[in-house]
């Protein structure tokens, strides 16, 4: 089994979801007492969040590069960044380690392509919804059209993430706001909606709407599991 390197803590609420999903995935695939081999570096999100909102992305990259180096030194075979937003600095991290990164947008887009989704709505932080580092990857690499909420709704989505979900606060009014925005994206032609922040699935899940939702945490974790056990599966087939 490969060792999964995790850059977490952004926030720790969603990192806990990753840890649970990955271990449950390995247990489901291999049975018995199997669990995932993980090397986790959990950052102090307060430092990251302040730098994000100050636009000091180079400084966030430095923090995550050092964390990634530690994870690699700890024996990780590949790396996952347990947050959508900080994939903004994925290329900087990738250029400073020798292990590959399983990119969250690629993992999600691969599933969208398999499911035949051509046009998708995107929820996330304002950084993810408004900047090109995430959307352009879906468009240019996978040919998926991306739409985002109107500006006022982007503010709502962003503030709920930082003021509530990253603090472990689940608010029923916020859930209704998110579902309203999901419905609006669907009315604008989105065939599905990406939950493009790893905390959003703490608030809304597929049972709450008929609009197909793509939970990036779940998808990313599942693909990490498959990569981690891929050699074991090959070995079993050979035997």
Per-residue DSSP letters for 189-213?
T-SEEEE-STTGGGT--GGG-SS-E
Q: pLDDT > 70: what percent of the chain?
A: 97
**Closest among 47, 111, 39, 113 to 73, alpha carbons compared:** 39
Read off the pLDDT of residues 188-201 as tens digits, 9 standing for 90 and up.
Answer: 999 999 999 999 99
- pLDDT band for position 217 (50/70/90)? very high
Whether 193 contacts 122, CB under 8 Å: yes
CA distance 121 to 214: 10
**Closest among 27, 23, 31 to 6, alpha carbons compared:** 23
Residue 230 has pLDDT above 70, yes or no: yes
pTM for this entry: 0.93
Other beta carbons less than 10 A from residue 72's beta carbon: 18
Indicate which residues carry an active-site annotation.
83, 197
Read off the pLDDT of residues 50-67 as tens digits, 9 standing for 90 and up.
Answer: 999 999 999 999 999 999
Read off the pLDDT of residues 19-53 as tens digits, 9 standing for 90 and up.
Answer: 999 999 999 999 999 999 999 999 999 999 999 99
Alpha-carbon distances of 211 from 153, 176, 190, rounded to whole Å = 18, 14, 9
């Amino acid at each position: 089994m490969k060792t999964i390197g995790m850059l977490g803590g952004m926030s720790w609420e969603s990192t806990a979801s990753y840890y649970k999903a990955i271990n449950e995935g390995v247990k489901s695939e291999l049975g018995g007492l199997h669990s995932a081999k993980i090397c986790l570096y959990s950052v102090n999100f307060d430092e990251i969040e302040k730098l994000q909102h100050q636009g000091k992305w180079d400084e966030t990259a430095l923090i995550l590069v050092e964390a990634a180096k530690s994870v690699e030194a700890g024996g990780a075979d590949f790396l996952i960044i347990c947050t959508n937003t900080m994939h903004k600095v994925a290329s900087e991290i990738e250029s400073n380690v020798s292990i590959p990164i399983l990119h969250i947008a690629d993992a999600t887009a691969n599933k969208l392509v398999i499911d035949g989704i051509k046009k998708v709505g995107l929820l996330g932080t304002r950084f993810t919804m408004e900047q090109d580092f995430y959307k352009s990857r879906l468009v240019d690499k996978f040919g998926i059209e991306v739409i985002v909420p109107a500006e006022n709704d982007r503010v709502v989505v962003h503030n709920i993430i930082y003021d509530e979900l990253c603090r472990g606060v689940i608010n029923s009014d916020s859930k209704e706001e998110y579902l309203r925005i999901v419905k609006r994206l669907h009315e604008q032609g989105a065939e599905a909606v990406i939950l493009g922040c790893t905390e959003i699935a703490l608030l809304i899940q597929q049972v709450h709407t008929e609009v197909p939702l793509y939970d990036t945490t779940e998808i990313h974790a599942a693909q990490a599991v498959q990569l981690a056990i891929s050699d074991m599966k090959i070995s079993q087939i050979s035997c």
